[in-house]
Structure 1
Amino acid sequence: MFEIAALIVVLVITVRYGAAWLAVGAALLLCLAVVMRPVAVRVTEISLILALFCTLAVCAALICALVARLAALDRRRHAEQVRLEQRLTFARDLHDFVAHHVTGMVVQAQGAQIVAEARPELTVPALDQIERAGAEALRALRHMVSGLRTEITAAPAVGAEGIRSLVEAFTLPGGGGARLIEEGPVDRLPPAAGAVLHRVAMEALTNVRKHAPDSEQVIMDLRARAGMVELDIVSGPPTPGEETPAHRGYGLTGLEERVVAEGGVFRTGRDSTGHWRVSARIPLESAWEAGL
């Protein structure tokens, strides 16, 4: 019985941890050895009964080892899929982070060239802003690249905190800026909704720099209500032909996909006053609703 038990243990370990092709051959030999061990010395009625029990034990052990092996393979496959999706998300976020800062640098540099002769005292502050935007772009780029190479990386600020940072750092060539209006417990947004709204705000401000640089001010309204969070960004009208509802870049298309994936609604276009409006509505979880 000790030999039979030892062979079954070896069988389980081989099937569970062995290499695929080697495990198949070794498992067949071990199964045969366990089943034939009771009748190896002499064939009797008792030895045949014991061989039958050994067969049942081998089948049970084999099934348990196979189930454990398949479960481990499924876990590894799922973990690899999660890593792949995370890296794809990091790659897509390169557009959101880096393009936002690079666009700001280009617009600020153009503004500095315009005012250099008329108001040279504004050149130095503009260069300081360009330097800060460049440093932030490099940090964001390093963060994204490190996220593609490693599994553990510090996440940038998102949600209400990240939106506040975007608004504080936002400037336009004509001196305009952005103003954030908050309503409700915006600091307690669910992580998924906060991340999507942060991307919406970043893409909207980037598009304002590119397509409506003459805007005097960008108004960003963030409202957290029972069962819903809303973000509205209103800017001056875009330059004709730059950005229309019929022509949408990859950034806006990607944002719409992310908002819709959260069960929300995403809209862009001119409002009744002729200003350009970007709106996102995302429903909130029932657990978060109960905490309002």
Structure 2
Amino acid sequence: MDQRSELSEFLRSRRARLKPADVDLPDLGRHRRVPGLRREELAQLAGVSVAYYTRLEQGNGRNVSTEVLDAIARALRLSDTESAHLTHLASPKPKKKRAAASRPQRMRAELQQLIDAMDGVPAYVLGRRLDVLGSNRLARALFGDFNARPPEERNMARLVFLDPNSRDLYVDWECKATELVSTLRLCAGCYPDDPQLSALVGELSVKSEEFRTLWAAHTVQDKGHGVKRLQHPLVGAMTLSYETMQLPADHDQSLVTFHAEPGSASAETLRLLAAWGLDEAPIPGEA
């Protein structure tokens, strides 16, 4: 991915979403020719020259100070995650990090042993491209047997956007889709030179109109916990809370776990699924 284009498009999209009233500026109404704030308005709010901000929005983010980036982030009303994304886009990537982007990711055997020991807790480990690097039996029973798929297809974004069964499994499919695209955007900011990530984004853009639309929105968020409503083909509806934990020893890998509220109907449904006794769990939606 072209880092300069990513920086330019991100700044344009964040500027376009702001109205003058959002930043206490007068609205010129019909005389306003562009959506959102003008460049000169944004530059004034950030305390930089129009020429300087224009160069930055054109993708020239070299030698931009942290103070200037912070000022622009404040002017654009960026969230903490968006501010971090802006910093990644505006910063040159060390050669060591560019080289790391192309190396395959593997999960440690000890980590697989850990999630296998999580009795009653669906768990899987994601890599930086949302690749499923490992999972336990209950996770495969809940979300489909990742191990039955070719390694290149064990990817959460690919499954959600290209597998029609995912629309039945995730009750709030649009929310899940948005979260995944936002995570991939963060990954692209950190690893713009990752050829496999570029290939994944290209494939999903060609095959899924929903992905193409969400990707163009440049939304970024880092949602580490929340609630998912599922409709499993074998055991029915359940509401599960999830936690996402970045692994300290493997910074580009995350452990994701799911659990139900104790004593709830969902807890009983999850227990039923765990006791089903299937050595190879079916892919949700398939017989």
- Do they fold alike, i.e. is TM over 0.5? no
Bin for the TM-score computed over the shorter chain: under 0.3
TM-score by length of 1: 0.26
Highest RCO, 1 vs 2 (Cα 8 Å, sep ≥ 6): 2
Question: Normalized per residue, which structure has more helix?
Answer: 1
Q: State the TM-score, normalizing by the size of structure 2.
A: 0.27
Larger radius of gyration: 1
